[in-house]
Amino acid sequence: MLNLLSAEFYKLRKSKAIYIGILVAAALVLLLYGSLAMIDKINQGEVANGTAGVKVSQVGGGMGTDGASQSMMQEIGVIGVLLQMFGGHFVGIIAAVLVSIFVIREFSTGTIKNLVGKGYSRSTIFFAKMIPVIVLMLVFETVVAAVTICMGIPFMGWELFSATVWEDVVVYVGLQLMFGAVIAIIYMLAGELTRNLAAGISVSIGVLLFSTTLTAGLDLVFHGMEVKPSEYWILDLVSSCPVADFPAEFMVRGVLVSIVWFLIATVLGILHFCKADVK
């Protein structure tokens, strides 16, 4: 197992796609901050509305759009940007691509043949792949969080930046890392089941984008009953994760749902990998 892990982490270190993915995520953080800064400038009348493609319109009482006096940066703060990054699909889509590449290329390049039938049980091989996948996701999300926080200083200014409630940031990022680890295994399962790069990425992104719509539909089906399916789906937890005053009920549910989905994805992945032929 240690030998396999050593090889997997070596591959991880040597993978250019991983570094590119992280850089793209960092660039997205920068773009998000840039957009917020532009909104503030538009609201303050410093630049014309629509400059650089940023158009501010007054829709209800949305964040920062209800008056020129309000600063968007001030209103959402660092944690708001983190919410945009993790709660939106930016991080999820890039992570889906990275995990799919890392898992599926073993099948597309045939390198899995260098591991299977070499004295390791298939479940050991699966676990040896799973651990780096989780580490990859955690490193990726940590970098995104770190870049988001660090970029807050130049974009928000020190005064606004230092007003951040860091305890909330730590808990929020911690929860997102926990959810992220489970989602990584779900992406890995999609990769294992499809064993095709295009299909794996498509399925992973499809799950990311549309599964919450499905659970919303199920919520309607179960309307009036005590069960609310979306509360038990890991991707709904990612988007509905609070950023402050974390309710104990959410924390407990979050941990339990994470454990359950982690186990489901792991068991299904191992069963398929142990049973299916390697081509």
Partner 1 sequence: MDYALNTDGITKIYGKHAVVDHVSMHVKKGDIYGFIGKNGAGKTTFMRIVAGLAAPAAGSMKLFGSGDLEMQRQRIGTLIEQPGLYGTMTARDNLEVVRRSLGIAGKQTVDEMLEFVGLSQAGKKKVKNFSLGMKQRLGIAIALFRSPDFLILDEPINGLDPEGIKEVRDLLSKLNKEKQITILISSHILGELSKIATSYGIIKEGVLIEEFAAEELKSRCRRCVKLVVDDAQRASAILEEKCHITEYDVPKEGVIRVFDGLDNSWIMNRALVEGGIHLKESYLAGQDLEGYFMDLLGGASNA
Contact footprint for partner 1 (CB under 8 A):
2-4, 6-7, 10-11, 14-16, 105, 109-119, 121, 275, 277-279
In whole angstroms, the minimum distance from the beta carbon of 11 to partner 1 comes to 6
Cβ nearer to partner 1, comparing 33 with 107: 107
> At 214, is the secondary structure helix, strand, or coil?
helix
Cβ nearer to partner 1, comparing 64 with 132: 132
In whole angstroms, the minimum distance from the beta carbon of 12 to partner 1 comes to 11
In whole angstroms, the minimum distance from the beta carbon of 22 to partner 1 comes to 17
Cβ nearer to partner 1, comparing 124 with 215: 124
Cβ nearer to partner 1, comparing 14 with 223: 14
| Tokens 């889509």 found at | 93
In whole angstroms, the minimum distance from the beta carbon of 117 to partner 1 comes to 3
C-beta separation of 182 from 262 below 8 A: yes
In whole angstroms, the minimum distance from the beta carbon of 259 to partner 1 comes to 30
- Relative orientation angle of helices 72-87 and 122-156, to the nearest 10 degrees: 170
124's CB contacts (< 8 A; 6+ apart) are 1, 4
Cβ nearer to partner 1, comparing 13 with 55: 13
State which amino acid sits at residue 259.
I
Q: Where are the alpha helices (DSSP H) in the chain?
A: 2-14, 16-43, 72-87, 90-108, 122-156, 158-162, 166-194, 197-221, 234-240, 248-275
Cβ nearer to partner 1, comparing 115 with 234: 115
C-beta separation of 26 from 19 below 8 A: no
C-beta separation of 185 from 266 below 8 A: yes
| Tokens 């260098």 found at | 114
In whole angstroms, the minimum distance from the beta carbon of 214 to partner 1 comes to 33
Cβ nearer to partner 1, comparing 245 with 277: 277
β-strand partners of 116: 120
Read off the tokens for 11: 């591959």
C-beta separation of 188 from 130 below 8 A: yes
Cβ nearer to partner 1, comparing 104 with 173: 104
In whole angstroms, the minimum distance from the beta carbon of 83 to partner 1 comes to 35
Phi, psi of 116, deg, nearest 5: -70, 135
In whole angstroms, the minimum distance from the beta carbon of 133 to partner 1 comes to 16
- Calculated CA dihedral for residues 185, 188, 193, 198, nearest 10 degrees: 140
